[in-house]
Amino acid sequence: MFGLKEDWSLDLPSRYFTLEDYEGGAARWCPGCGDFAILSAVQRICREEQLPPEKVVSVSGIGCSGRFPHYMGTYGFHGLHGRALPIAEGVKSRRPDLTVWVATGDGDCCSIGAGHWLHAIRYNMDMVVMLFDNNIYGLTKKQTSPTTEPGEKTNTHPRGAPLPALDPLTTTLGMTNCSFVAQTVDWNPPHLHATLKAAYHHRGTAFVRILQRCPTYTDHIFAELQSDPDRIRVLEHADGIPVSDAVKRSFRRTLEHDPADLSGARHLATDREFVDIGLFFRDPSRPVYDDFCNYGLEATADDKLSALNLLLDRFTI
Ligand code: SF4
């Protein structure tokens, strides 16, 4: 007997999202800016995971990276300088169902926002923190940032930055309760994508430092790394970032590193012979503050009002 089965059915999702669903305004970063690759990787991951755009929030502070939420077709919050992390934590504490991507720069996160950085890592809320690290304040036209290498001539230090650069990896790896620390580069899309995808799947604060090119002000900074890929070493492990053949074709040097080994991760982060990319550290067992701040989410406005009145009644004279 031929013909269609009467009980035949297809289990189709009610909505299917394409890349266009995650696209916001036309990106206006400078031509060749590494931020484009990061935006594209996040949009692709949202599509692969079929995240409803209304369930995604990108949060930023001030700087070139701060434009990120404008270019996502999702909810977004372009916050104040250095304040991306507390805003993202506030969002997550009241809306644990949302996926939160934080876009912050080396000036935004490591300078004015450094206090928030420290506590966000300790709170370990479920979000991806992308550090767009171009070693310079680009938006304010080439000022020294905390990650600017000494000797680099900037508009604030025309004779060369005088202080040692802050290292975002060693700093984060030294923070209490850190649970995920990775590094990647904007100019290798497969590794960038795999790293951000692993960060998305981590429950807790996934901190990803992205070496990000700023061709307008500091095109020389990562030029050597790009022209000599042997300076880059890819961290490999069964529990690490998957290393595709495409990544192996770009970078010949690899190193086996167990991301459960925190002291090994700290040692690698201080190594100046190679620039390591991949997963330095992951510990999914660390406490996540989301588990302690999600009470009362179901309360209605009336419930909240009665609770407030009850509280105030205790002080009635
Ligand atoms: Fe990108 Fe640099 Fe232009 Fe900013 S100034 S948009 S970081 S290239």
Residue with tokens 């690698």, as numbered in its chain: 268
Q: Which of 208, 180, 178 is nearest to 195 (CA)?
A: 208
Cβ of 138 below 6 Å from ligand 1? yes
Cβ of 217 below 6 Å from ligand 1? yes
**Which pLDDT value is given to residue 2?**
59
- 221 alpha carbon to ligand 1 midpoint, in Å? 13
pTM of the model: 0.94
Q: What is the DSSP string of the chain?
A: --S--TT------S----GGGGB-SPP-SPTT-THHHHHHHHHHHHHHTT--GGGEEEEE-SSGGGGGGGGBSSEEEE--TT-HHHHHHHHHHH-TTSEEEEEEEHHIIIIITHHHHHHHHHHT-SEEEEEEE-SSBTTTTSB--TTPPTT---SS-TT---SPPP-HHHHHHTSTT--EEEEEETT-HHHHHHHHHHHHHSSSEEEEEEE---TTT-TTTTHHHHH-GGGEEEEE-TTS----HHHHHH---EEE--TT-HHHHHHHHH--SSEEEEEEEE-TTS--GGGGS-TTTT--HHHHHHHHHHHHHTT--
Residue 99, φ and ψ in degrees, nearest 5: -90, 125
Residues 6+ apart with CB under 8 A from 140: none
Cβ of 134 below 6 Å from ligand 1? yes
**Which pLDDT value is given to residue 229?**
95
Distance CA 168, CA 109 (A): 9
**Which pLDDT value is given to residue 4?**
64
Distance CA 247, CA 194 (A): 10
**Which pLDDT value is given to residue 6?**
72
Ligand 1 pocket, mutate which of 39, 104, 106, 134 (most atoms under 8 A from CB)? 134
Cβ of 214 below 6 Å from ligand 1? yes
Distance CA 187, CA 176 (A): 31
**Which pLDDT value is given to residue 95?**
95
Ligand 1 atom index nearest CA of 34: 1
**Which pLDDT value is given to residue 207?**
98
**Which pLDDT value is given to residue 317?**
84
Distance CA 224, CA 26 (A): 31
Residue nearest to atom 3 of ligand 1 (CA): 30
Per-residue pLDDT in tens (0 to 9) along the chain, 317 residues: 556 667 777 777 788 999 999 999 999 999 999 999 999 999 999 999 999 999 999 999 999 999 999 999 999 999 999 999 999 999 999 999 999 999 999 999 999 999 999 999 999 999 999 999 999 999 999 999 999 999 999 999 999 999 999 999 999 999 999 999 999 999 999 999 999 999 999 999 999 999 999 999 999 999 999 999 999 999 999 999 999 999 999 999 999 999 999 999 999 999 989 999 999 999 999 999 999 998 888 899 999 999 999 999 999 88
